[in-house]
Structure formats: structure tokens, C-alpha cells
């Protein structure tokens, strides 16, 4: 099946509105607050239908809402491949490109939580089971989680290993936004550490602290925040660590030397900026 059509199928399950004629889907509209996602859907529709498509916009309390009518030729193609909002056909589940349907659903109803991807659906347990099958057939570990809040019928499909999912999905407007490092706050410290150590020479913890302080990073020395950041980067395999050792000073007393750090391999500026810091939480 067509990769782009399967992705559009997923988008419509998540954010589509349907009109029925004699019990069959006759007209579909896609709604979303993300303009980049709507432009992606527009390109897919124009490529398949060979027609110009217009994105409409209206103001809501939560922001600007964009909408787009799905051409009749695409509705027919979706129906031919077994479109249904509550279930997926066996042909779709077992298709080699089925992961792209999961990508479309993530774009519309998904989010990244730490190192996992969560896809939210309400009163659609059969659909989530079908999506779980797709994830498992593509080598992903997934399970269904019931909402802990008092919301009847809410469930999540939780997919482990976000980095593996990124490789399978390919370019994704939503994933690029969710992985983009923050300008200020939690992710900035790790980014600055990697930039400072990227020269390749061993640096003491105190040298790193002074560099961060000079560049306006408000890390507390007492709370040992810096060591936590360094150890997380070390556990991920980005840094090498030279352990502290006991040395005798001029007075004959034993003192503990500082840990020293350097990068395991050189990183480009683009790799440092776009690194998925969210997995370090």
C-alpha cells in the first residue's frame, strides 16, 4: 500500500471528521492546530489527487485551528484499502508499510514521554490492539495502558525505545519539534557541556563549572547538579570519565582529586543542537 496514503489514514483516524451517506464514509475533513502538519497533509493530498487544495483557518480560544477538505478521489482510495475509525483490516496490519499509519496517528494524537511514545485514543480498544500488532510486527515493544485519571474509556498505546521509532518514522514535523532542545533550562546545560568538551582534551569538573558560570548558566555547586548532568551523558556513552583518585598533598594528607571528562567521539554542532536530550530525563 502507498506509504503516504497510510500516513494520511492515521492522521484522519486521529484528527478527522467524517460524514456518512447510507452508512458509508462520503466526506472527510482534517482538523489540526499545527500548520506544519497540515501542510504535510496538503502535500500528500495534492500529490495523490493532482489537485490544488486549500487550508482554511479560524480562531479558537486555544489558538488558530486549521482545516482541509479531503478530495473525493482520496476518500475512495481510503475506502478501498479498508478505512475504518475503530478497526484496521488484516491487509493493513500485515502490510510492509503499516508503520506509516502509526506515524500518522502519532502526528495527530501522540506525544513523547521520556523515552517512550504514547498514542491516545478514547473508546477504541480494538483499534489500539490492531496498532499494537503493527508495532510488534515492526520490531517495537508496545503495550496498552489504561488512563490513571477518572476519564472513562481513555487508553494509551505505549511504544518503548523512541530512538528506534524515529528511524522507522523518518522525517516527522511533530517529532522534530518535540526533540528540539530548549533555549533555556534543563537541556541547555548538557548542550553547553558537550560544546565545551568537544575540543577533545580532559577537563576537570571545576573547569566545566567555571565555563558554565561564565556563560550565564545558574548551576548550584552545593546541590551537585553538574555531576548529575555529567554522569547522565557518561552513561549514554557520549563522555569518557577519568575517576578521582586519592593523592598525598605537601602536608602529607590524602586528598581526593577531581573527576576528569572528555567526549568519547567528536560531535558536530548540528548533532549537539539536535540531540534527543529528552531521553536523559
Q: Give residues with Cβ within 8 angstroms of 61, minimum separation 6.
A: none
Q: Which residue has the cell 478521489?
A: 73
CATH number of the domain at 210, please: 1.10.10.10
Q: What is the pLDDT of residue 17?
A: 80
Q: What is the pLDDT of residue 181?
A: 45
CATH number at residue 133: 3.10.28.10
pLDDT of residue 179: 55
> Mean pLDDT of successive 10-residue segments in the chain (281 residues)?
83 80 69 85 88 87 84 83 78 86 83 78 81 87 74 74 76 59 56 83 84 70 72 83 73 74 82 64 46
pLDDT for residue 184: 44
Q: What's the pLDDT score for residue 276?
A: 63
State the total domains in the chain. 2
Domain of residue 217 covers: 186-280
Residue 93, SS3 per DSSP: helix
Same-domain pairing of 158 and 50: yes
Q: Within this chain, do residues 192 and 273 fall inside the same structural domain, yes or no?
A: yes
- Within 8 A by CB and 6+ apart from 235, the residues are none
Judgement on whether residues 193 and 147 belong to the same structural domain of the protein: no
pLDDT at residue 261, rounded to an integer = 87
Separation between Cα atoms, residue 12 and residue 17, nearest integer Å: 7
- CA 137, distance to chain mean position in Å, is 20
Amino acid at each position: 500500500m502507498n506509504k503516504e496514503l497510510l500516513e494520511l489514514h492515521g492522521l484522519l483516524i486521529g484528527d478527522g471528521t467524517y460524514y456518512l451517506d447510507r452508512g458509508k464514509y462520503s466526506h472527510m475533513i482534517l482538523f489540526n492546530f499545527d500548520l506544519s502538519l497540515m501542510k504535510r497533509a496538503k502535500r500528500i493530498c495534492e500529490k495523490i489527487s493532482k489537485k490544488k487544495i486549500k487550508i482554511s483557518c479560524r480562531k479558537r480560544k486555544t489558538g488558530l485551528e486549521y482545516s482541509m477538505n479531503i478530495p473525493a478521489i482520496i476518500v475512495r482510495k481510503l475506502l478501498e484499502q479498508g478505512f475504518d475509525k475503530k478497526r484496521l483490516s488484516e491487509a493493513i496490519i500485515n502490510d510492509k508499510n503499516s508503520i506509516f499509519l502509526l506515524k500518522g496517528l502519532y502526528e495527530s494524537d501522540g506525544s513523547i514521554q521520556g523515552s517512550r511514545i504514547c498514542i491516545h485514543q478514547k473508546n477504541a480498544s480494538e483499534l489500539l490492539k490492531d496498532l499494537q500488532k503493527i508495532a510488534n510486527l515492526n520490531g517495537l515493544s508496545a503495550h496498552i495502558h489504561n488512563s490513571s485519571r477518572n476519564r472513562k474509556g481513555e487508553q494509551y498505546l505505549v511504544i518503548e525505545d523512541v530512538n528506534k521509532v524515529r528511524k522507522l518514522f523518518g522525517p516527522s514535523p511533530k517529532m522534530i519539534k518535540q526533540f528540539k532542545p530548549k533555549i533555556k533550562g534543563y537541556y541547555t546545560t548538557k548542550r553547553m557541556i558537550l560544546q565545551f568538551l568537544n575540543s577533545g582534551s580532559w577537563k576537570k569538573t571545576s573547569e566545566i563549572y567555571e565555563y558554565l558560570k561564565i556563560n550565564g548558566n545558574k548551576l548550584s555547586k552545593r546541590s551537585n547538579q553538574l555531576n548529575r548532568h555529567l554522569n547522565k551523558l557518561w552513561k549514554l556513552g557520549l563522555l569518557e570519565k577519568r575517576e578521582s583518585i586519592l593523592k598525598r598533598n605537601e602536608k602529607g594528607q590524602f586528598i581526593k582529586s577531581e573527576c576528569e571528562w572528555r567526549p568519547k567521539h567528536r560531535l558536530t554542532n548540528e548533532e549537539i543542537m539536535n540531540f534527543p536530550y529528552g531521553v536523559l530525563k
